[in-house]
Amino acid sequence: NFMLTQPHSVSESPGKTVTISCTRSSGSIASNYVQWYQQRPGSSPTTVIYEDTQRPSGVPDRFSGSIDSSSNSASLTISGLKTEDEADYYCQSYDSSNVVFGGGTKLTVL
Partner 1 sequence: QVTLRESGPALVKPTETLTLTCTFSGFSLSTSLMCVSWIRQPPGKALEWLARIDWEDDKYYSTSLKTRLTISKDTSKNQVVLTMTNMDPVDTATYYCARSSGSYLGGTLDYWGQGTLVTVSS
The residues that touch partner 1, with contacts defined as CB under 8 A, are 1, 32-33, 35, 37, 39, 44-47, 50-51, 56, 90, 92-104
Q: What is the DSSP letter of 31?
A: G
Phi, psi of 85 (to 5 degrees): -80, -10
- Tell me how far, at minimum, the Cβ of 55 lies from partner 1, in Å: 11
The nearest distance, CB 66 to partner 1, in angstroms, is 17
Q: Judged by CB, which is closer to partner 1: 45, or 87?
A: 45
Nearest approach, Cβ of residue 34 and partner 1 (Å): 9
CA angle 107, 22, 55 (to 5 degrees): 75
Measured between alpha carbons, how far is 58 from 40 in angstroms, rounded to an integer?
Answer: 16
